[in-house]
Structure 1
């Protein structure tokens, strides 16, 4: 897993709109997980991907200088009061833990991971 806690910069200045920041971060790696380090559901989703041989990029929002802004943007995006975990594959929003697990169980997650270049088998 690749963990990021640093302030995200674009062209030497911070990105203004948190939803724009989320979209940019989500598109930079094959699998991106927005997480909070103490969240058990976040831990479970990270373990799922690692167990499949996927190395996700993880943004721990509680350790990120603008993590609260990103968390509020994710809550708006998800239409939920629970912001994390939120998973993107190939820059596309998969969703929270229930959507990821549903995709895994119904067999649609692996093809998405292969298409995004996160899984080769």
Structure 2
């Protein structure tokens, strides 16, 4: 048999070495966890920025849609005005292009429509 005090001392030294190794491993794990936390914070910040950018983009798209709708409405109003002007012009052309019969003279009066030739 060996010396029990030496055996106990050897066991204690082994335990100390194992404890030191565990401490080093825990330090490495702590560094890794700190790195992960930093990455999570960075990703969280990027996500918040992207969320804000997305909100701005969505507001811009909505604004563009509203502007497009407003432009479309203005165009339709303009189109209706142009149609109304053409209708008035057609009515004017129809009333002035027909010849009139003079009851007093019994003759056809010349058309009021002016024709310009170049």
Q: TM-score range by the shorter chain?
A: under 0.3
Greater Rg over alpha carbons, structure = 2
Considering fraction of residues, name the structure with more helix: 2
| TM-score for the superposition, normalised by structure 1 | 0.16
Which structure has more relative contact order (CA 8 Å, sep 6+)? It is 1
Considering fraction of residues, name the structure with more strand: 1
